[in-house]
Structure 1
């Protein structure tokens, strides 16, 4: 939108702020707003937060995508959901999604054909950096657990790894919610940080799918070649490199990581040609996760440019 400058007192230029924005954040005469200069832009902001965001939705015909709907509303930043349904069985996926993936959401009332979900953890919304760092730790532990099972050639420990994926969903959903609702202090990185959290969740998903496969039969892990296990361990090291450079960026180290990535990709393609069965399946997950890591590092580089 455009605004005309108005001269006040011969030396001061003034401009009005949009009334809708002022109402949204309950701004009144005498309130302070923050102004930041960025190149040829002047950015206005406030530390006030909008009133409670509420949404009403009927999920009666959405049975297949109920978890995605509830998670999407959470990530969008809604504080209160009024959900209607014709079949009370739809509350099963609603409950499951809240418990497994949505930090702060609680069902505060429930009837025969409706329920109310509310965010009860506003204080947690200052914890973006803590939660994002937690995601990196969870991915490291998840991947380490798989390596331990591979080294012991046993899938006995695999079922105990599945909760990591739920925890990763919680932390990445939380971070995306904060970006949508409040934004980050460095607003230019909002998009990069949002898609980074999307990709971190994808790594958790791929590790989960790998665990599903390894858990199907003991043979799927016992028959793995040493080369395939080594490939997975190389990918794990790449995961640790990503974590380190994300918080302590260094262009030279980034270049070295991409050299490692190139080597892993080459060895994956060689494995596809010379191996079969479980080796091929595990190599697929190594290749996919390696590329996701490369995507995240690309986003991180863009934040430095």
Structure 2
């Protein structure tokens, strides 16, 4: 028998116990990773020739220690990457005690639940103090709602020529980043959705985060260049936002006919963006194309 886990497929021999009981051994690496012990219950799902074995335990990861020196941007990436990967405790070494300000910024703006529990000369320890909570669905909905709000807020600000809303846009984008990191962490620590769908959810969350960045960049371009945007471009902008809203509705209440309509409308809108005579057409094309491409993810999630 072939067992697949973590992208790896291995063969296992079937062993006969007694007169009719057939058994196979679990991969030691997988059992250790999820702390599987005698007496634990596993989920066994039959699908034609395939048997899928899963568990409801969180991944147990060891502590991680590394040195960032004075590298601010790289240090931020290390911390957020380890957080997303599921580590519960991180020991950081740095060259200057002022680096602690960078760590505080990351914990405030990018990460949920991590706090500094120990601090010394040129080092600190940060740890997850939230415990294990199944908040994936709540956090994912927050990402959706914040992304929709950000899309609407950027359009409204441009229509009203509001040049003082960038700080609010940044706060919304930071919140999206924070909830996205939290969702990705939960996916890595424990499968909160159907195991086979986990990569799709991972891709969806990363895509929504990047989509929010593109809306923010569009608004920044508008502010920095003080461009005048014609009515046709604003109408297209509004149409793209309506596609995103419809995607959100279908994500939580899937309908095949509405999905078919959204496929056609999003494709039509994207083609229109390619012919727009506007300074922001490249941003609108990119955003609409991302929404259009994400439609296939929604289909796969509902198969």
TM-score, L = length of structure 1: 0.89
Residue 136 (structure 1) shift = 1.0
Are the aligned partners of 1:159 and 1:215 in contact in 2 as well (CA < 8 Å)? no
Q: Deviations over 1:167-224 (max 9, x none)?
A: 110111111111111123411101111011110000111112123223336x33xx22
2:230 is equivalent to residue 225 of structure 1: yes
Are the aligned partners of 1:206 and 1:285 in contact in 2 as well (CA < 8 Å)? yes
Residue 137 (structure 1) shift = 0.5
Residue 252 (structure 1) shift = 2.2
Match of residue 7 from structure 2: none
Partners of 1:186 and 1:25 in 2: CA distance: 17
Are the aligned partners of 1:55 and 1:80 in contact in 2 as well (CA < 8 Å)? yes
Q: Of the candidates 106, 118, 132, which is equivalent to residue 97 of structure 1?
A: 106
Residue 50 (structure 1) shift = 4.2
Q: How does 1:187-266 map to 2 (within 5 A)?
A: 187-216=195-224, 219-220=226-227, 223-266=228-271
Partners of 2:265 and 2:193 in 1: CA distance: 33
Residue 157 (structure 1) shift = 3.0
- Give the root-mean-square deviation of aligned CA atoms: 2.0
SS of 2:299's equivalent? helix
Deviates more, 1:257-266 or 1:73-82: 257-266
Match of residue 3 from structure 2: none
Q: Aligned pair in 2 of structure 1 residues 20, 260: CA closer, same or farther (>3 Å)?
A: closer
SS of 1:240's equivalent? helix
Q: Aligned pair in 2 of structure 1 residues 139, 48: CA closer, same or farther (>3 Å)?
A: closer
Residue 31 (structure 1) shift = 2.8
Residue 41 (structure 1) shift = 2.1
Report the number of matched residues.
294
Q: How does 1:158-169 map to 2 (within 5 A)?
A: 158-169=166-177
Q: Of the candidates 43, 68, 74, which is equivalent to residue 65 of structure 1?
A: 74
Q: Of the candidates 42, 45, 48, which is equivalent to residue 39 of structure 1?
A: 48
2:148 is equivalent to residue 150 of structure 1: no
Residue 52 (structure 1) shift = 4.9
Q: Deviations over 1:245-301 (max 9, x none)?
A: 112222322221122222222222221xxx3xxx31x22221111111122211111
2:96 is equivalent to residue 87 of structure 1: yes
Match of residue 184 from structure 2: 176
2:284 is equivalent to residue 296 of structure 1: no
Residue 84 (structure 1) shift = 1.1
Name structure 2 gaps, 5 residues minimum. Answer: 1-9
Name structure 1 gaps, 5 residues minimum. Answer: none
SS of 1:29's equivalent? coil
TM-score, L = length of structure 2: 0.89
Partners of 1:262 and 1:15 in 2: CA distance: 49
Partners of 1:261 and 1:50 in 2: CA distance: 39
2:122 is equivalent to residue 117 of structure 1: no
Deviates more, 1:34-43 or 1:99-108: 34-43
Residue 158 (structure 1) shift = 3.5
